Structure 1
């Protein structure tokens, strides 16, 4: 198995942030690895009413930065180097585009509390060539 030095952690909301970092931080600490948090901005709003509001993109970017700032603080408290990526597109495709830069991808199984795989995690697991750690 290849040494793990760079970990990509998918962050979609506060719940996935906490769940994924609670797993990724001890791994990074033990392996002397860095963590990069990635937040993928939606290409379009989730519903028509939100689309009518011009500020939906600004709010989404502010949330992304807020969650990544929290992740950075948690990592720095444990002495772990942290980088961030904010990208726009379909989460599954964006994660797969960035996978080549990392040794391990940590992703939530589903953000809505299901015991099943969500569409993003299923797509990443099915198509990735990297090691994936699914977090419940």
Structure 2
């Protein structure tokens, strides 16, 4: 069954929530490819999913680093392990192996668990950092004096 985006998956960080929604769309595209029995479509969607997810991980890790998230290295390790696992799916499907059901199970379980647990852990720290950065930016733009000497 495809994943339906809901508020339980939201972290309250609009840019991250948008990226997570996009990843859900890719996973749902894998469901579609399974239903059409298109190996070519699965390969294409999986390649796009991996590319997008890797860029999302880098973006997310940058936000955590800027916010001083204390468990950044552990989170990066989780990302690397997932990337390696999905990379093995890419290799297997390109040899013609039907990995669709296993892939869907892993993607769905991992994404939902990762968002609800791992990502939720950093969300408060990152949100607070983003609020503070926005406040500093607004303060600098406030008066001509702040813009000139801030």
When normalised by structure 2's length, the TM-score is 0.32
The structure whose Rg is larger is 2
When normalised by structure 1's length, the TM-score is 0.35
Identify, as 1 or 2, the structure richer in strand: 1
Identify, as 1 or 2, the structure richer in helix: 2
